[in-house]
Amino acid sequence: MAGSSIYRGDSDTWTLSVPLTLWSAGGTFFFAIKSKANFNPSDPTDANAIIKKDYDDSFITGTTLTDKVYTLNLTHTDTFNAVPGKYFAEFQWVSADASTVKTFTQFRYQIRADLNQRITV
């Protein structure tokens, strides 16, 4: 997955697929944006993430012959208070019983300052 760049307070959308051979109902996509690559194994709950979201089966937007297709998004409220900077982002899909985990490639994610949000005196 290539890097992304958005302005603070903007939204972003990704389309990701889970192979039907791995997929089962009730799984969850986990998304996190953190300041360090190779997320710290001592932070398995992503407590240090500046943004984290969970996506359930309601985000499935289609099924192909081989995959379940999800459309996942960040809303403007997710990014509105984020500190501008360069981060690392990761998606993981975990089955309901946690026996199957599909980790997608980490990617660079930049949140830029939104000039419309600056404070003037």
The 3 state secondary structure assigned to the chain is CCCEEEECCCCEEEEEEEECCCCCCCCEEEEEEECCCCCCCCCCCCCCCCEEEEECHHHEEEECCCEEEEEEEECHHHHCCCCCEEEEEEEEEECCCCCCEEECCCEEEEEECCHHHCCCC
Residues 14-31, mean pLDDT to the nearest whole number? 95
What is the chain's mean pLDDT, rounded?
Answer: 87
Task: Write down the pLDDT at residue 41.
Answer: 59
**pTM (predicted TM-score):** 0.84
Task: Write down the pLDDT at residue 48.
Answer: 82
Domains and CATH numbers, the chain: 4-117 (2.60.40.10)
